[in-house]
Amino acid sequence: MRLDLPDSICFRITRHCNARCGFCLAPTDGETADDATLRHRLDWLLSHGVRSIHFCGGEPTIHPALPDLLAHVRARGGKNRITTNAIEMSEPVLSALRATKTQVKVSLHGDRIHRNRMVGCDAFDMTVRNLHRLIAAGVPTSVQTTVVADGTWVLNWAIDFCLGNGVTRLTVLPFLPRGRGHHRRDDYGFSFAQRSALQDLVKKKRCALGNRLDLRWLNLTACRIHVVEVDGRILLEGPTEARDDLVGKIPPMMDASPTESLNRR
């Protein structure tokens, strides 16, 4: 049976991360995949109709194969996107992002004190420095901000930060109670009314900003997205793990008869 995959898919290359965000959707579990396995999976996805690979994790920039994987996708005619905390940005990674015209989303969740508290490490300055390096290198770079219930002030901060730092797109992601966030839902979770109020505020700000800033609302409570996990499973992920479906699994390299099971959880 042929899988019906989207044009764009999230592709986890590691669950390791150099941060410890309290709202992490895919927290560290020690899993990572090697270069050859990841190339094979990319080939498989691109031969099954996927055109755009969204590298994510964990933190994709700390996987040593990332530059080669970005180049591999481009050489096969695909497009790359990546979401990163930008705490580390080696020269090979920066060069590969530029050479492969990868669209980069940098996670930045508020000012120094708030952001460091949210990500569990003192990394604000490193992220901002690397964001500036990306922009200076001509890499298309936007900001993504996770907003939690008691931190809606972050919206104004993020807008001002983007306007003052040459960032032309800001995506607002309201907190989701999955991953590590499941255990922090009492601290960070929105009521329906709070979420609606924030969404209305984003709409008003978007109108007021006009073409100065492309302000977006990423509503993952209303949709599900395809994600390739580090073990090769393809999941249709919802706002909580209970609403995930297993779509199939990318066959391992030596398997001559791929199984594309449609096991439902």
Give the residues lining the site for ligand SF4 (CB under 6 A): 17, 19-21, 24, 26-27, 57-59, 85, 107, 119
Measured from the CB atom, the residue of 58 and 239 that comes closer to ligand SF4 is 58
CB 131 to ligand SF4: min, Å? 14
Backbone angles phi, psi at 29, to 5 degrees: -130, 10
Classified as helix, coil or strand, 227 is strand
CB 57 to ligand SF4: min, Å? 5
Measured from the CB atom, the residue of 82 and 213 that comes closer to ligand SF4 is 82
CB 226 to ligand SF4: min, Å? 18
CA distance 178 to 216: 21
CA distances (Å), 176 to each of 148, 223, 226, 227, 238, in order? 9, 12, 16, 16, 10
Measured from the CB atom, the residue of 22 and 67 that comes closer to ligand SF4 is 22
CB 107 to ligand SF4: min, Å? 6
Measured from the CB atom, the residue of 11 and 40 that comes closer to ligand SF4 is 11
Measured from the CB atom, the residue of 15 and 249 that comes closer to ligand SF4 is 15
CB 142 to ligand SF4: min, Å? 16
Given the structure tokens 């800001």, which residue do they identify? 170
CA distance 94 to 78: 19
Backbone angles phi, psi at 129, to 5 degrees: -60, -45
Identity of residue 149: A
CA distance 178 to 184: 9
Classified as helix, coil or strand, 14 is strand
HSE-up of residue 79 (Cα within 13 Å, Cβ side):
10
CB 257 to ligand SF4: min, Å? 34
Measured from the CB atom, the residue of 40 and 124 that comes closer to ligand SF4 is 124
CB 21 to ligand SF4: min, Å? 3
CA distances (Å), 126 to each of 34, 65, 92, 130, 247, in order? 27, 22, 17, 6, 38
